[in-house]
Structure 1
């Protein structure tokens, strides 16, 4: 059985060397699998290369034209308008038009609204409204020194090539510390696991610290319950589920891994615990997360199955993998063409793996676990398969979903209408003034016409705009 030291890392007993090696890979490598030998290499990184559109200045996850799809500006504007409408009527869309929402998540959430959409999809928005002041309360507390020490040591290891987390003590690392420390106070029985840090960092790239905290809470408690608890039983169970599903998706890959006695924990731990945030090109990470937060953990399973099928699913590929070592090396260096946004998203959507398939294999895995290892020590709550299940389990009030606009933008058309309204009003007043000075007295109108409210940008045509719509809430942190 795995033994967990402070930090809930993947440190294990002698019988679980694979868990120990996985811990080292989670902590000591960058996105390219390169070990860092000193802190200066992590945060003293200098380069003449410019920051890409996602904030990366280097590393394997830096943006490249080959790894991402380009969306025409007019299409992006139309998608923004549709998402603004969904966010303004979230409960109705979730109840009556969830399939359409799922399709829009599969197409990709507009970058300007991704942070807000993630918060709504995960249920973090509702949690934040229902527990106002909770994050500030946790943030003001000192925290358990045991966890604080481990968190501080991990800060500089999270996305060292991203401009938000490069500087030691910079605002990115400060907020990451605040979020992770707050979670250890929120769930002291669970504490901190090193794989939570990249999850929190991805959220912080898109939203303020308080929102990122509630997003992390929802992922840890609803989407991936038990993943970050002592013993790592939940991730081991999901490894067995992945292996069972692989038999249906790619029998050849399944036979190969079984022949070489490759425990799933060897290759899937970082994939699942970090939700592929350290594995895929960044454009692909964002698309996977759009679908993951909408549809649940089945998306994570599908990504893993697609990668295994593509890398080990043909005789030609297996010719170079004659043993366990060669197979592991192959899975550590996945061919970039299989991780590209367009290819990967299509494969994920088309793969026939449902929530029912996962739950069926989950029951079988739990039964085998009890027969061979005894009772499970981690009593995790049942996971929720996506946004709809989360909302159904804890129905929010209309107030919980209400948006709080901080910026109101008027279009030129709206300004023109306001001018016309003022002109009409002025003309009317002048006419009334002339009538009042006439010999025949006229009673003043006791019910003056109210001025027409200014329409917001979302009510006007958008095709001519090449600029991103301004948010009415905190859309992005950067």
Structure 2
């Protein structure tokens, strides 16, 4: 559960014990899951991971099979690749279609890239090239480094990426969080930023995760991680006011027992439900959150409150504040299930206008009771379209960089060998041109200006032998999310 504390942090008391100590990251340059590095509280023997990379814990997939049929998934991948290739046009003219596709779920192979485009992180990265490398090379403020290091092993300790203390996942998480404290020294580090950055790192390289974190902190949830937590307290009051319209029964119950919103919604909102929901639901919620903005977080919170406290029958089991809080700490799995939750969130009639209207109302009340806000946050952007409209990108900013480059080694033939080759006759050439070409690849490799397309297609013919892996494939961005 969350409790307020001085400074700009939120401290959670987890029911699960977090065993192990944080060691110096510099001593673990080669550690990863499967190495001899000490793991978070359990031995590295016969580790079984689910499809999301969890090896245990509450968020490990229980084995339910809601997989999308492969042919449907391939179609969705092709559609998303087409959208990413013409992102500005899609956002300007077909934003509703983009929203519907986010609601259906972004294909796992493209999720990281899509999140970066939706959030505007891709544009920020292109407009600030080498910025992350510059921040990454700086030592950082010792005050924040110590706090960050102590938090590393608490972030998804049952996920294969972060299970090894000092492993690659924790090292990248440290780099991203340290870079943000240097990027926004006046804001520093808040504990709730760590799970946000960790989820991003599960889907994209460190540099991309940094810009994704920047966009969430500055555009989607501005002020959430600043000293005093005024923004999250304001949103708590907004949530409570919206609940009166969505579920009067739940609203009356919480008001009757004087349960302040900050007691139950802080972790939900600050971590974007990444520590609360089953993982399949987390990903679907984030898909919609990046597209439509903070209204998705409000809707998820309202759905959970309505389902758990929205009827007199349910309230019989929680006659006091303690019982109510326990109920909200252990939400029934059926209400958090991906299919049910996403449908309820889509159908709930709470819009950006509703949130902004209530925000102005709560802001007036805040000034009457607390005075002016101490932390001035930039205006909140409600989703990808608003972010793009506020800072229109250039076509170059949106250009997709090739993820995998196929390098064709230069052929070295002697003059004698060249002389022995017999040129094809005109009839043979004509015959070749009349051959039916193979069907188009729905997942073409990104174009490489240094490699003519004719050479590429010849190199990838079925009868062409593959060269050694070091010659044929090289990662341009060292990413693993496509």
Structure 1 length as normaliser, TM-score? 0.82
Of 199, 202, 206, the residue aligned with 1:202 is 199
Please give the alpha-carbon distance, in whole angstroms, between the structure 2 residues aligned to 1:474 and 1:367. Answer: 49
Aligned partner of residue 43 in structure 1, secondary structure: coil
Per-residue CA deviations over 1:303-334 (Å, capped at 9, x if unaligned) read: 00000000000111100101000000000000
Of 40, 43, 58, the residue aligned with 1:43 is 40
Please give the alpha-carbon distance, in whole angstroms, between the structure 1 residues aligned to 2:479 and 2:172. Answer: 17
Per-residue CA deviations over 1:164-186 (Å, capped at 9, x if unaligned) read: 00111100000000000000000
Determine the structure 2 residue equivalent to 1:15.
none
Determine the structure 2 residue equivalent to 1:443.
none
Please give the alpha-carbon distance, in whole angstroms, between the structure 2 residues aligned to 1:367 and 1:247. Answer: 19
- After TM superposition, the structure 1 = structure 2 runs for residues 143-292 of structure 1, keeping only pairs within 5 Å, are 143-292=140-289
Check if 1:345 corresponds to 2:342: yes
Change (3 A) 1:454 1:224: same
Of 289, 310, 313, the residue aligned with 2:310 is 313
Please give the alpha-carbon distance, in whole angstroms, between the structure 1 residues aligned to 2:88 and 2:106. Answer: 18
Of 19, 24, 38, the residue aligned with 2:12 is 24
Aligned partner of residue 381 in structure 1, secondary structure: coil
1:405 Cα deviation from its structure 2 partner: 1.3
1:475 Cα deviation from its structure 2 partner: 6.4
1:69 Cα deviation from its structure 2 partner: 2.4
1:48 Cα deviation from its structure 2 partner: 4.3
Of 406, 423, 443, the residue aligned with 1:458 is 443
Structure 1 window deviating more from structure 2 (46-55 vs 271-280): it is: 46-55
Contact conserved, 1:151 with 1:177, CA < 8 A, in 2? yes
Of 377, 381, 384, the residue aligned with 1:384 is 381
Unmatched 5+ stretches in structure 2:
23-37, 407-422, 431-436, 446-474
Determine the structure 1 residue equivalent to 2:98.
101
Determine the structure 2 residue equivalent to 1:110.
107
Of 357, 362, 381, the residue aligned with 1:360 is 357
Of 45, 49, 64, the residue aligned with 2:62 is 64
Aligned partner of residue 56 in structure 1, secondary structure: coil
Q: Which has the higher contact order (CA 8 A, sep 6+)?
A: 1
RMSD over equivalenced CA pairs, Å: 2.6
Contact conserved, 1:222 with 1:390, CA < 8 A, in 2? yes
Q: Which structure shows the higher helix fraction?
A: 1
Please give the alpha-carbon distance, in whole angstroms, between the structure 2 residues aligned to 1:189 and 1:429. Answer: 74
Per-residue CA deviations over 1:364-423 (Å, capped at 9, x if unaligned) read: 1000001111111110000100000000000000000001113268xxxxxxxxxxxxxx
- After TM superposition, the structure 1 = structure 2 runs for residues 363-442 of structure 1, keeping only pairs within 5 Å, are 363-407=360-404, 426-428=424-426
Contact conserved, 2:110 with 2:481, CA < 8 A, in 1? no
Please give the alpha-carbon distance, in whole angstroms, between the structure 2 residues aligned to 1:279 and 1:143. Answer: 31
1:50 Cα deviation from its structure 2 partner: 1.0
Of 289, 292, 297, the residue aligned with 1:295 is 292
Please give the alpha-carbon distance, in whole angstroms, between the structure 2 residues aligned to 1:358 and 1:472. Answer: 42
Please give the alpha-carbon distance, in whole angstroms, between the structure 2 residues aligned to 1:406 and 1:154. Answer: 32
Per-residue CA deviations over 1:13-53 (Å, capped at 9, x if unaligned) read: xxxxxxxxxx233xxx2xxx424365499713246451011
Contact conserved, 1:276 with 1:285, CA < 8 A, in 2? yes
- The size of the alignment, in residue pairs, is 414
Contact conserved, 1:116 with 1:474, CA < 8 A, in 2? no
Determine the structure 2 residue equivalent to 1:141.
138
Aligned partner of residue 77 in structure 2, secondary structure: helix
Of 4, 7, 13, the residue aligned with 2:6 is 4
Please give the alpha-carbon distance, in whole angstroms, between the structure 2 residues aligned to 1:243 and 1:42. Answer: 41
Unmatched 5+ stretches in structure 1:
11-22, 410-424, 433-451, 461-470
Determine the structure 2 residue equivalent to 1:53.
51
Determine the structure 1 residue equivalent to 2:459.
none
Aligned partner of residue 314 in structure 2, secondary structure: helix
Please give the alpha-carbon distance, in whole angstroms, between the structure 2 residues aligned to 1:426 and 1:454. Answer: 26
Please give the alpha-carbon distance, in whole angstroms, between the structure 1 residues aligned to 2:293 and 2:246. Answer: 19
Per-residue CA deviations over 1:411-446 (Å, capped at 9, x if unaligned) read: xxxxxxxxxxxxxx94438689xxxxxxxxxxxxxx
1:301 Cα deviation from its structure 2 partner: 0.2
